[in-house]
Structure 1
Amino acid sequence: MLSLFSGMRVFGQDRCLVRSRGVPACPPFVGHLTKATALLFTLTLFAFSPSQAKAAGVPCTPTFLGSYNTPGAANDVTVVDTTAYVADGNSGLQIIDISNPATPTFLGSYDTPGYAWGVAAVGTTAYVADDWFGLQIIDISDPATPVLLGSYNTPNGARGVTVVDSTAYVTDGGSGLQIIDISNPATPVFLGSYDTPGYAHGVTIVGTTAYIADIFSGLQIIDISNPAAPTFLGSYDTPDLAWGVTVVGTTAYVADWDSGLQIIDISNPATPTFLGSYNTPGEARGVTVVGTTAYVADQLHGLQIIDISNPAAPTFLGSYDTPSQALGVTVVGTTTAYVADRFSGLQIIDISDCPLCPADLNGDGVVNTQDFLAFLDAWSAGDPFADWNNDGDINTLDFLAYLTDWSAGCS
């Protein structure tokens, strides 16, 4: 069930404000919720499943909330709680307080030795894909004074990074996927690699499978169950240049440059098949999916918002033309998109006008007990995508946060 959560990063507020039919405002198990208790609790909700269909295809009008003009070239952004971490090219890692989206403020920075292309943040540690200087591992416990913990010099140019538990997965351009043990950040250790045929840029990890956006060779699917010897599972050669990828359920969404958004069925990794596409007006560089909505960083055409409830016929919902070049996008909650906008830094966009259905984990347009059980599986397994409140930990608060969204159904 892990794959149901790829690309979803949802932020919540006070977890004692959970409201559901017959559920107390601050349930007695907040401090310690076991899988058995959660399952029993879930079963009591079956009769009250929302089963609400999404209002698909309803146009929306995203609006500007705020921005912070970083000193370099904003290539990628990730958000944890009220902090945005920006991979800022020659200016390394930029750390920005976004607690008030209208007036983001500088917290601190770390000038990496290379060119920061990608960033991941877990707990008090940031991981930066730093081009020719590989993976940089930075202590961000005090955002005002980030400190280098360690680094690993990958063989080519590090472009993207995803972290799962104590392993970093780095897309390394001409050297494909590099797998690194980061259990001791001071001395990262090489575990294994897989040399993709193209130029590895974006990566999403789901369970024991890596999905790589391989610029010249489309989507590459790699078995990483044995990190020392990753093996090829399958591939799909997209029509243009695959820059970014996210996975939800049995579907991969690829940001494919001049060919926009490509939607691919990966239920059989050995033979991925085309489901549909949406040709965005610009050059698709990054993609995030929440429920049945795709958010595409479309370079000169900013943020494009696409209804993917029918993968065979995606439809336009809305767009926001950022001032520079949209290269990366992260969506938090049901209201806000954060765009890495190259020479205009971080752009914060209000998407609350757009129909969202974050609790619809299988993308069928309905919120029901199937979605809840899918979340419970991932949550009990400690899957990082079950971090529903985006605070870096997987605990009872995430269960309650998902329950809130599930109870609300679809907009």
Structure 2
Amino acid sequence: MAKAVLACLCCMVFLSCAKPTDPESLYNSGGYTVVGRLPLPGYAEDLEVKDTLAYVAQGEGGLAIVSIADRAKPRLLSVCQEGVRGTSHKLALNNTSVYIAANTFGVNVVDASNPLAPVATASNLAMKPAQSLHVFGNYLLAAIGETGVKIAEISTPTQPDIRGGLQNPGYALGLATTSDSSRLLVACGGMGVG
């Protein structure tokens, strides 16, 4: 189970899935077991988990890094707001670099090699309006609405180098690659998947 976390009302809630029947609320969980909770200073919008750390995009609150080593007692390690521009909506990870989609403010990059003191290394990258992000090898792909997909080379992870883009029908909102990494899939709003 890669992700079993629900972000709601500025809280991070850890759930254990047994046989869910109807998860209506956190208190009437319909088969889920609440393992732990952690209020956060921002509005939790997206998260990525790597090992014992959860990276949380928290709207205007930037990036929060949470230790989930003890899932019953998640612990806020740090928050990175300084240098993070716009509203943090979506995240993508590449080792210890965190890429944050900030809509009209493009992409922010945070070096989280020290999870106790993350540092923004780039902000307002010209990948706008960044809706969603996906790391594919040494490339960061950004879904940027009606303009399509922008591509940045990230061999230097904290300083992406924008290389170009792809045009697609519709409004690019989400990205994924196939399991064999041979194809890029783009969620194109009303136009379906391209």
TM-score normalised by the shorter chain: which range applies?
0.7 to 0.9
Instruction: Supply the AA of the counterpart residue of 1:172.
Output: Q
* More relative contact order, 1 or 2 (CA 8 Å, 6+ apart): 1
Q: 1:297 aligns with which of 184, 187, 191?
A: 187
Instruction: Supply the AA of the counterpart residue of 1:275.
Output: R
- Alignment pair present for 1:128 and 2:14: no
- Alignment pair present for 1:161 and 2:39: no
Aligned to 2:56: 170
**Residues 271/205 of structure 1: CA separation in 2 closer, same or farther (3 Å cut):** closer
Instruction: Supply the AA of the counterpart residue of 1:296.
Output: V
Q: 2:125 aligns with which of 237, 253, 270?
A: 237
Structure of higher CA gyration radius: 1
* Unaligned 5+ runs, structure 2: 22-30
**Residues 244/282 of structure 1: CA separation in 2 closer, same or farther (3 Å cut):** same
Deviation per CA, 1:189-242: give whole Å up to 9, x if none. 100121221111111222111111122321222111111110122346235321
Q: 2:95 aligns with which of 207, 232, 245?
A: 207
Q: 2:75 aligns with which of 182, 186, 189?
A: 189
Q: CA deviation at 1:270?
A: 5.1
Matches of 1:237 and 1:210 in 2, distance apart? 14
Deviation per CA, 1:269-314: give whole Å up to 9, x if none. 454222221232222211112324211112222211xxxxxxxxxx
- Alignment pair present for 1:286 and 2:163: no
Instruction: Supply the AA of the counterpart residue of 1:146.
Output: Y
Matches of 2:38 and 2:87 in 1, distance apart? 19
- Alignment pair present for 1:252 and 2:132: no
Matches of 1:273 and 1:282 in 2, distance apart? 26
Structure (1/2) with the larger strand percentage: 2
Query: What is the SS of the residue equivalent to 1:300?
Result: helix
Aligned to 2:15: 138
Matches of 1:264 and 1:254 in 2, distance apart? 8
* Unaligned 5+ runs, structure 1: 1-120, 305-411
| TM-score, normalised relative to structure 2 | 0.84
Deviation per CA, 1:80-104: give whole Å up to 9, x if none. xxxxxxxxxxxxxxxxxxxxxxxxx
Q: 1:221 aligns with which of 109, 113, 120?
A: 109
- Alignment pair present for 1:148 and 2:34: yes
Query: What is the SS of the residue equivalent to 2:189?
Result: coil
Matches of 2:65 and 2:163 in 1, distance apart? 30
Matches of 2:50 and 2:85 in 1, distance apart? 24
| TM-score, normalised relative to structure 1 | 0.42
Deviation per CA, 1:96-153: give whole Å up to 9, x if none. xxxxxxxxxxxxxxxxxxxxxxxxx43xx611233x3331211103334112112222
Number of residue-to-residue matches in the alignment? 181
Q: CA deviation at 1:261?
A: 0.8
* RMSD between aligned residues: 1.9
